[in-house]
Amino acid sequence: MAKHRLHYIPKGKPTEFDLRIMDLERKGAIVPSCDLIKTPEQIEGIRRAGVVNTGVLDTVAREIHAGMTTLEIDRICREYCADHGAIPACLGYGGFPMSVCTSINEVVCHGIPKKKDVLKEGDIINVDFTTILDGYFADASRMFIIGETTPDKERLVKVTRECLEVGIKAARPWCDVNDIGRAIEPYAHQHGYGVVRDLTGHGVGCKFHEDPEVCHFAQRKKGMILVPGMVFTIEPMINMGTWKVFIDADDPFGWEVITGDLKPSAQWEHTFVMTEDGPEILTY
């Protein structure tokens, strides 16, 4: 009888840690490849990128206001990045023309900064930035409420942040990555919201996007085991109405994602490293 061929192949003599992963794989679990488990040096590099990424979003938080354009937000992000020796990962990625994603109201994600997009009182906006520093990537996004908004929008922003917190609690060392979505979706549904299915969180750190795919809705199928040392994002996109989305036909770059019913959407995101004690946020 042919032996089961392992996906996880350790470098050198297997350690107790390696043997645990190999045993899980023999039992049918989906396990990461070795390159998805970051070394302490790589984690520190990603952590340093996270410090810059947090600085970018903190600067936006201080300066964002009604009457400014999303193009101004792009300038703020780009200048902060350059002043700290870093590179905006979004710029030029897959043809994306700007340094940051600015997604207003019904724009779910990948909103392109524009001179014509002027923030108004009552808008909600997601600012999503990814930093490359010394070859390492850190990715996070925040929601901002411009002035005072409606109770419905305010509640959406609040519950979406709670969805992220629910996902963090569900992400435990040696758990199935799909446990995250199994926890988030019921919580969102309790509040009458839809969870976007077409876009996910992802591994990150040495590349912009790596395995595993981090879904925010409930799935029955197995997902990859979250092993200590893995770095990934959780970034639930929660819609006030339907979970369905479409690409804006007026976007010449084919990036901007809109809610299917044109109701508002919100998103919060952090980059995490999984430890033996649970996920540690690298983008505070």
Q: What is the CATH number of the domain that holds 227?
A: 3.90.230.10
d(Cα 212, Cα 171) in Å, to the nearest integer?
13
Mean pLDDT, all residues of the chain: 96
DSSP state of 94: G
- The two structure tokens encoding residue 182: 């199994």
- The two structure tokens encoding residue 87: 């590179």
Asked if pLDDT for residue 1 goes beyond 80, the answer is no
pLDDT tens-place string over residues 104-123: 999 999 999 999 999 999 99
Question: Closest by alpha carbon to 33, among 55, 8, 15, 16?
Answer: 8
Residue 65 domain-assigned (yes or no): yes
Number of domains in the chain: 1
Residue 263 domain-assigned (yes or no): yes
> Cβ distance 179 to 170 under 8 Å?
yes
Question: Closest by alpha carbon to 56, among 86, 90, 91, 24?
Answer: 86
Residue 12 domain-assigned (yes or no): no
Asked if pLDDT for residue 176 goes beyond 60, the answer is yes
pLDDT value at residue 12: 85
Residue 245 domain-assigned (yes or no): yes
d(Cα 204, Cα 272) in Å, to the nearest integer?
9
What phi, psi does 263 have (nearest 5°)? -85, 160
pLDDT tens-place string over residues 27-75: 999 999 999 999 999 999 999 999 999 999 999 999 999 999 999 999 9
Containing structural domain, residue 124 = 36-281
What phi, psi does 190 have (nearest 5°)? -55, -30
Residues 9-28, mean pLDDT to the nearest whole number? 93
Residue 276 domain-assigned (yes or no): yes
Q: Count CB atoms within 10 A of the CB of residue 281.
A: 14
Q: Give me the helices (H) in the chain, please.
A: 16-26, 40-63, 70-83, 151-170, 178-190
> Cβ distance 101 to 130 under 8 Å?
no
- The two structure tokens encoding residue 41: 């040096």
DSSP state of 250: T
> Cβ distance 239 to 194 under 8 Å?
yes
Asked if pLDDT for residue 5 goes beyond 70, the answer is no
Which residue is associated with the tokens 């879904």?
215
Which residue is associated with the tokens 């990461």?
32
Residue 20 domain-assigned (yes or no): no
pLDDT value at residue 11: 82
pLDDT tens-place string over residues 201-239: 999 999 999 999 999 999 999 999 999 999 999 999 999
d(Cα 223, Cα 236) in Å, to the nearest integer?
17
Residue 3 domain-assigned (yes or no): no
d(Cα 235, Cα 161) in Å, to the nearest integer?
9
Residues 197-202, mean pLDDT to the nearest whole number? 98
Residue 127 domain-assigned (yes or no): yes
Asked if pLDDT for residue 187 goes beyond 80, the answer is yes
**Sign, Cα dihedral of 243, 272, 39, 90:** positive
Q: pTM score, two decimals?
A: 0.96
